Amino acid sequence: MENNLLMMTTALPQEYKIVQNFGLVTGVTCRTRGIGGKFIAGFEALAGGEVTAFTSEMEKARYQAIDRMKEKALKLGANALVGIDIETSEVFTGIVLVSATGTALVIEEKKK
């Protein structure tokens, strides 16, 4: 568990029970490339293949959205985030929204 926060894209495993359900928490970020990044990306696009200038920005945005979601869950007192979903969408030309959403829970292991 990271920062005592169990995180997964799936439902809660059977060996745990839910003590408290805080509901959905979401972390969001919007990203764009500056003029220099767009210039470099333009050259990469001409050559074909991966546009690394945008790939690195999308990775940063993904981590930032996840971190914001985690912060909200921890502030609520959660020790687990389940059913995590990460989505992206272009909100304006060249501006990408990345959101991370999950269910914040307090869980404990079931007694055997």
| pLDDT for 55 | 77
| pLDDT for 1 | 45
| pLDDT for 16 | 95
Question: Domain spanning 6-109: which superfamily?
Answer: Hypothetical protein apc22750. Chain B (3.30.110.70)
| pLDDT for 28 | 96
Buried b / exposed e across 78-106, counting CB within 10 Å, b at 16+?
bbbbbebebeeeeeeeeebbbbbbbbbbe
| pLDDT for 72 | 97
Q: Which residues of the chain have pLDDT under 50?
A: 1-2, 35-37, 39, 43
